[in-house]
């Protein structure tokens, strides 16, 4: 058993961590796991979703502050900003970005990492770029011949993709009447996964307060009518809010394979402690 458990999550924008992993990050931080959050951009391209907010600083500055406050809500002590420009990650120097992630992985040495899957949630270009960086860095961090000056090689034992089951989207359709994200007025649908492909369901019911607080920190990104901003939030009406779902995409050879159709994991560190 490793002496210290470390979890690293890598996403593109401030708020990407909130809805699908805010509970998981809070839960592991509360359990004493060293939790690191890596965010590629400051969200400079984000539109103001709540017009009642009077922005007195550039939105990237405000979103970084929102992200730092959200980290405090989740109990995350380590935030790493890669410093790329929102909306421009696909034209950022890819080798440099992967190098930065490798450097962090070798320094932090997480057993478990989380990022976007190949669907990027809803296909956002920045999410797809970050998925590719995470995938390359997961492999290269363990390669002793690659970038020896970036630190000693480190093998992440488990790499998870954040994934939404179709059932969650059906529920979203029923409750919100839509399952897409508007980007410049164009609807981009969330991409669901068959429930049989989901390997891991983390029950974060005991951490919904931290998750909600974290979400609310991203005030510039949330429509005033959103259920997350209402004073009362009915947990029973949102079962997917407290069940966060992942696909174990890559695992070290020493770990037992799981058959998601039969038995789902309830712990990202299953097999590691
Ligand atoms: Zn995003």
Ligand 1 centroid – CA 142 distance (Å): 27
Say if CB 5 and CB 34 are below 8 A apart: yes
Kindly state whether residue 261 falls inside one of the protein's structural domains. no
| Segment 17-43, tens digit of pLDDT | 999 999 999 999 999 999 999 999 999
Residue 259 has pLDDT above 90, yes or no: no
The CATH number given to whatever domain includes residue 235 is: 3.40.50.10320
Residue 262's pLDDT band, with cuts at 50, 70 and 90, is: confident
Ligand 1 centroid – CA 88 distance (Å): 12
Say if CB 158 and CB 113 are below 8 A apart: yes
Hey, is 15 helix, strand or coil? coil
Calpha distance 180→187 (Å, rounded): 6
Of 35, 37, 36, 41, the closest CA to residue 13 belongs to 41
Ligand 1 centroid – CA 140 distance (Å): 24
- Across the range 66-87, mean pLDDT stands at 98
Ligand 1 centroid – CA 127 distance (Å): 6
Ligand 1 centroid – CA 15 distance (Å): 7
Four-point Cα dihedral 3, 24, 140, 198, nearest 10: 120
Supply 122's token pair: 């809803």
Say if CB 196 and CB 207 are below 8 A apart: no
Ligand 1 centroid – CA 152 distance (Å): 31
- Across the range 95-123, mean pLDDT stands at 98
Kindly state whether residue 259 falls inside one of the protein's structural domains. no
Place of tokens 């405000």: 62
Total domains, the chain: 1
Kindly state whether residue 265 falls inside one of the protein's structural domains. no
Beta strand 192-193 with 180-183: parallel, antiparallel or unpaired? unpaired
pLDDT at site 1: 64
Q: Tell me the residue length of the chain.
A: 273
Kindly state whether residue 174 falls inside one of the protein's structural domains. no
pLDDT at site 127: 98
| Segment 193-238, tens digit of pLDDT | 999 999 999 999 999 999 999 999 999 999 988 989 988 888 899 9
Kindly state whether residue 177 falls inside one of the protein's structural domains. no
Calpha distance 183→170 (Å, rounded): 21
Calpha distance 164→71 (Å, rounded): 23
Range of the domain at 223: 6-165+197-251
pTM of the complete model: 0.96
Say if CB 65 and CB 71 are below 8 A apart: no
Kindly state whether residue 189 falls inside one of the protein's structural domains. no
Ligand 1 centroid – CA 180 distance (Å): 13
**E strand or H helix that includes residue 8:** strand 6-11
Hey, is 103 helix, strand or coil? helix
- Across the range 45-58, mean pLDDT stands at 92
Kindly state whether residue 88 falls inside one of the protein's structural domains. yes
Kindly state whether residue 208 falls inside one of the protein's structural domains. yes
């Amino acid at each position: 058993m490793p002496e210290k458990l470390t979890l690293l999550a890598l996403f593109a924008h401030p708020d990407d961590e909130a809805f699908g992993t805010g509970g998981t990050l809070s839960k592991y931080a509360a359990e004493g796991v060293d939790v690191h959050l890596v965010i590629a951009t400051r969200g400079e391209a984000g539109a103001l979703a709540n017009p009642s907010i009077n922005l007195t600083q550039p939105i990237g500055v405000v979103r970084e502050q929102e992200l730092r406050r959200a980290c405090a809500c989740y109990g995350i002590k380590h935030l790493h900003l890669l410093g790329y420009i929102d909306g421009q990650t696909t034209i950022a120097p890819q080798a440099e970005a992967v190098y930065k992630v490798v450097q962090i992985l070798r320094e932090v040495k997480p057993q478990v990492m989380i990022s976007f899957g190949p669907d990027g949630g809803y296909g956002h270009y920045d999410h797809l770029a970050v998925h590719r960086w995470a995938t390359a860095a997961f492999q290269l961090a363990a390669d002793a011949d690659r970038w020896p000056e970036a630190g000693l090689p480190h093998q992440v034992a488990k790499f998870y993709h954040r994934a939404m089951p179709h059932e969650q989207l059906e529920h979203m359709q029923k409750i919100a009447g839509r399952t897409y994200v508007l980007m410049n007025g164009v609807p981009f649908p969330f991409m669901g996964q068959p429930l049989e492909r989901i390997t891991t369901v983390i029950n974060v019911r005991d951490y919904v307060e931290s998750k909600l607080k974290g979400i609310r920190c991203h005030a510039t990104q949330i429509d005033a009518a959103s259920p997350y901003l209402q004073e009362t939030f009915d947990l029973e009406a949102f079962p997917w809010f407290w069940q966060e779902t992942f696909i174990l995409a890559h695992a070290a050879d020493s770990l037992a394979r799981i058959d998601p159709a039969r038995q789902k994991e309830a712990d990202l560190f299953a097999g590691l402690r």
